[in-house]
Structures are given as structure tokens and as C-alpha cells.
Structure 1
Amino acid sequence: MALRHHLRKAREILSNEGPLETAKSAIRFVPIEVNNYIFRLRHGSGTYVMDEDWDNLLILDACRYDMFADQIDLDGALEPRISLGSSSEEFLERNFDSRACHDTVYVNANPYIPRLDLDRGTFHAVINCLEDWDPDLETVRPETVADAARDAHESFSNKRLVAHFMQPHHPFIGETGRDLTGTGLSIDSDGERDTVIWEYLESGDADASLETVWAAYKENLDIVLAEVESLLEDLEGKTVITADHGNLLGERLSPIPSRRKYGHPYGVHTPELVRVPWFICEGSERRDIRSDPPVESERASDSEIEKRLEALGYK
């Protein structure tokens, strides 16, 4: 998966910037791959989520383990797990590509599900929340995903349920976060996207301290956890709360050091990015799960998918 991604990016760089920039990009990735190899030796290859024991899997996008451990106040057991990806794209590819998960319904707010064609035959059904995109917040609200999960739980009572929330991933939607520059990626009057907060921090041009960004990031987590807590009351069976990946906030990669990094680039396996929470809520009596052929699901248009990815900082 990683090799395919790197080749795809290399072709894009070659087409847009020429062979010299392509060579520079390849050289920059050598120390990252060495670090990844050492990380895998120390921590293993990671968790395939579909092979684990759960009835409901609630995915919090870009949620660091350490932040979750500090903020969680629910009944359950917390474990650290190693995610298969450091970005949503890598997580989704490595967990679901070429797999038949026909005992599962996926309630989705992440544009990479349709971008990777995982809404076409991978699951029994995909419930698309991208149509309920909030144009002011430039994301899907957590209550939208929670309500769709409730409906899916009722309509598909004999299926495993995945609910993929976009928070705590930026844009920051709380009171602190909305005041920060670069919390979303609006398109300005010249047709160019605004700079995302991680790029501001990496360049040193942010108009807020790292402490303020941390506060906004935690605020996003608290907002989604409030919806998760309410949703748990309506779900039957064993529920796991986890994340697809984490986020860098100024850490340096190791053992080969780097400059300070922000955000969650594809294929960078470091604790802040791939060590994620695995919070187990045993819940009520287990559901009787069975597999059935996929049903046709509504999907966003290609142009909508690209706009959503851009608003979340993936373009």
C-alpha cells in the first residue's frame, strides 16, 4: 500500500515539477522509511480492526492516544493499539482494500471512503454523511454522524456498525478553535485555498501559540466525546472507541531526527501518529451478526469528494 502511494505521488511530482523535484522527494523519504522499519521492529505491524472483537466501532479521526487518555471519562477499559496508517487514506486502504466486510455497515463522514471506492461492495452498506456537510464549519458535525449511527443500528440490527466521526480532526469547531486562523481550508476570492493550521505552525507564521492550538484540538475531542457518550446509550453489544491515526504537534521523528513536524502525513509511523486508543465498552447482550450481499449506497459526486478532502487539508 505504501509503495503504491509513493509511486502515485512520484508520478504527480514528476508531472507537475519535473525529475529534479521527484529525485529530491525520493531522497527525503529514505530516512522516514528507515524510521518506519525500526518502529515496526519495536512495535509490530499493527491492528486489523475487522479481525477484532466488537459489535460497534466508533472511529475518532486524528485522535492521539495521549490526548484521549487525558480526556476520556467513560466506563470502559483503555488499551493502546498500533494503527495500520498515519493518515485516513493509509488506514482505510490497509484495513479495508480488497476485503469483503459484508457483515458491516459503515456510517461515514470521511471523504476517503468514496475516494478509495470503499463504498462500492466493500461493506454491506455505507451511510454517507458527506451530504450533510456544514459549509460554515467545513466539516461534518459529530451529532450528524451520531444520529446516522442510531438510524443504521436500528435499520441494520444484525450487522456490525462502524461510525467514523471527523473530530477531533481540524477544522476546530469549538469556541477556542473557531477563533484561530487556518482552522479550516476555505477558498479565497482568487480561488486559492487558505493555509491549514499545521502549515502555519510548521512555517512559524501561526497567529496563535502551540498551547492554544492544543486547547482547540482537545476541545474538538471533548465535543465529539459528548456525542459518543450519548450514542453509547442507544447501541447494543460490545463497543470499541478508537482512532484511524493521531497527529503531530511539533515532535521530531526518530531515531533519524527531523525538523519539527505537524499534521498527519501518509506513511510516517511514529508513536504520535499510529499509537491510538482502543477503549472497550462491554455494553449489553451481544448482537447476532450475519453477512449479506452489499446493498447500493448513495455517494457524493467526485467534485464534492475533492472539495471535502481539500477542506480537511488533504489536497
Structure 2
Amino acid sequence: MRHHLRRAKHVYDTRGSKELAKATLGYIPIEINNLVFRLRHGSGTKVMNEDWDNLVILDACRYDMFSERVDLKGELESRISLGSTSEEFLERNFGDDTFHDTVYVNTNPYLPRLDLDDGTFHAVVDLLNEWDSELQTVHPETVCNAAHKAHEEFPNKRLIIHFMQPHYPFIGETGKQIEARGWTTDDVTINGTSIWGHLRNDTTNVDLETVWEAYLENLDIVVEHVRTLLDTVIGKTVITADHGNLVGERLSPIPTRKKYGHPYGVYTPELVKVPWLVIPSDTRRKIESSLPIDQQTKSDEMIEDRLRALGYR
């Protein structure tokens, strides 16, 4: 709701009351669909209320692709995420509380963008400085190395490990051939030059099968690194996602045009039904809370640059 109010103010300030009225009308079918979805599936899971020592987040990983593709040992369930974007997921899970028993290994620019790196957790291991300029994201190997060090440095803290994959940009051999990137959202439409924007606007020669291959390739790459990580961390681990991604589906019960990407505040299985793979352990960590460590915040310029690379600006 806060996001929609901010967006409404932005539309009013920049485009006037007439455009705000148009945008509001455009959202009515989406909100009706959202209401139906929530009535069927509930309001979602707050991840900090669940039982785990290590929470591995795969950014933009759909439940269906995970269940069909991933063979990690554990008990696979599904959960309804609190958000259809990283921004919404982070804000609704962590924005109104403090978690000083938890260390967050982060690759997502929205964490500092929402000021969640300043006192929300005991510590944030922010990897935005470890950005791979060629791939325009943080490589999963970098995340694994940082997570292993955090596990050693903070043995009595819960650990959240946030990988950017399978989120675009695609880093596999197929995905590297897809050059389009950089998309923005407004109240009704998605425009820009990412592959999701091109697919929506029918301005690309890349077929949907190739995009799916690249998307799944990203998942395969990150899962291999997660497999290695599981050998180095102690305690009960849960593997999940912050949200999913639309790849040409239509919203329902009020039908829409085919949708791509992950717009804010849109609730449909492809976007908010996420994996919840529980990997039990006979050894649990003794979790203790302590005062947060002072963090060096990232510059607004760096955050905006990382968001653009990931397709949010």
C-alpha cells in the first residue's frame, strides 16, 4: 500500500490528476485479481517467523521451475511470498522490526535502498562492491565465499544468504547472448530495453524458448553453488525465493495481456508462490541477539547503478 501511495504521488506530481485517474483505473482489475488470490491462498509467510538457522534466498525463482529442476535433498514445500518484487518482499518482511540475531549476506540493491542495512540486522555483509562489471550482477561464487566467512565470523547468528540468480541478467552461455537490459515500471505498463520489456512490446527476435533456457540456466548455475555452500554451513537450512517472474502468463480471473517480469503488488502463482525446501540438521546453532555492528552505507549513485543493471531503472 505504501508503495502504491508513493507511486500515486509521483504520477500526480509529474503527470497531473488526469494521468493519475487513468493509472488508478488501470489498477482496478489487478486489485480485484489480487483480492481473489489472497482469498484463495492467504496473506503470505513472514520468513523471520519460521524455524531455520540458514535462509538461502534465490532471487526471482518460481516454485514450478525449482520443483521441476532442483534435486537437492530435503522436504520441498511452497510458501506465498509477501511480495512480487524484491522491494516489496524486503520491506514487508524486515521494514518494521529489528533482527539483531541475524546476519544478512546481501547482493540486492534494494536492501540499502530501503535503509535496511542500518541497524535492522546484527550485520549486513553487502556484496555490491563485489559487482562483476561484465556480468552486471554478483556472481554466486562470490556469495558462497562471503557466506562461508560470515558463518565462521558469526557462529551464533541466524544467516540469510541472498543470491541474485536466477534473476536477470542471465550469466550462462545462452543467457550471455541476450543483451537487452534495463526496464522501468510505472503504474500500468512496463517499458524499456530488458528482455522482459522487449517481449512485452514485441520488439525482439529472441524467442520465448531461448529466454526460458537462459532463465533455467541461471537457476542451474546458482544451485550448483548452493550445493557447495550446504557442505560448509551448520544448522537447519531453508532454500526459498523472494518472488517469482512472469514469462508470458496472463493474470486472472480478470484476464490481461501477457505479462513479463515481476511488477510490484501483483499476486499470482508465477510471482508469489515460491519454493520452501527444508534441509534438516541434527546440529543446531545456539542463536543469540547482540547489538548491531556499524555499517558503511553505499552511495545512492552506486545503488541506482546496480538497480539499473538488474533492470529496475
Instruction: Identify the TM-score tier after normalising by the shorter chain.
Output: over 0.9
Q: Equivalent residue for 2:186?
A: none
Q: Distance in 1 between matches of 2:219 and 2:281?
A: 22
Q: Distance in 2 between matches of 1:309 and 1:14?
A: 24
Matching of residue 132 in structure 1 with residue 133 in structure 2: no
Partner of 1:175, secondary structure, is coil
> Which digits, 9 at most, give the CA deviation of each residue in 1:202-238, with x for residues without a partner?
0111221101000000000000001100000000000
Partner of 1:66, secondary structure, is helix
- Paired residues of 1:236 and 1:284 also in contact (CA < 8 A): no
Q: Equivalent residue for 2:187?
A: none
Q: Equivalent residue for 2:296?
A: 298
Give the one of 285, 288, 291 matched to 1:287.
Answer: 285
Task: Report the RMSD for the aligned CA atoms in angstroms.
Answer: 1.3
Matching of residue 173 in structure 1 with residue 171 in structure 2: yes
- Paired residues of 2:182 and 2:312 also in contact (CA < 8 A): no
- Paired residues of 1:113 and 1:119 also in contact (CA < 8 A): yes
Partner of 1:285, secondary structure, is coil
> Which digits, 9 at most, give the CA deviation of each residue in 1:274-307, with x for residues without a partner?
0000001113400000111111123321110011
Give the unaligned 5+ runs of structure 2: 184-190
Residue identity over aligned pairs, in percent, reads 62
One-letter identity of the residue aligned with 2:224: A
Partner of 1:250, secondary structure, is strand
Q: Distance in 2 between matches of 1:57 and 1:181?
A: 32
Matching of residue 86 in structure 1 with residue 67 in structure 2: no
Which structure 1 residue ranges, 4+ long, deviate > 4 Å from structure 2?
Answer: none
> Which digits, 9 at most, give the CA deviation of each residue in 1:165-199, with x for residues without a partner?
000000000000000131x339xxxxxx9711100
TM-score using structure 1 length: 0.95
Q: Equivalent residue for 1:228?
A: 226
- Paired residues of 2:192 and 2:198 also in contact (CA < 8 A): no
- Paired residues of 1:138 and 1:185 also in contact (CA < 8 A): no
Q: Distance in 1 between matches of 2:10 and 2:148?
A: 41
Q: Distance in 2 between matches of 1:310 and 1:16?
A: 21
Q: Distance in 2 between matches of 1:147 and 1:14?
A: 46
Give the unaligned 5+ runs of structure 1: 187-192
One-letter identity of the residue aligned with 1:114: P
Give the one of 155, 158, 163 matched to 1:157.
Answer: 155
- Paired residues of 1:248 and 1:272 also in contact (CA < 8 A): yes
Q: Aligned residues, how many?
A: 306
Q: Equivalent residue for 1:17?
A: 15
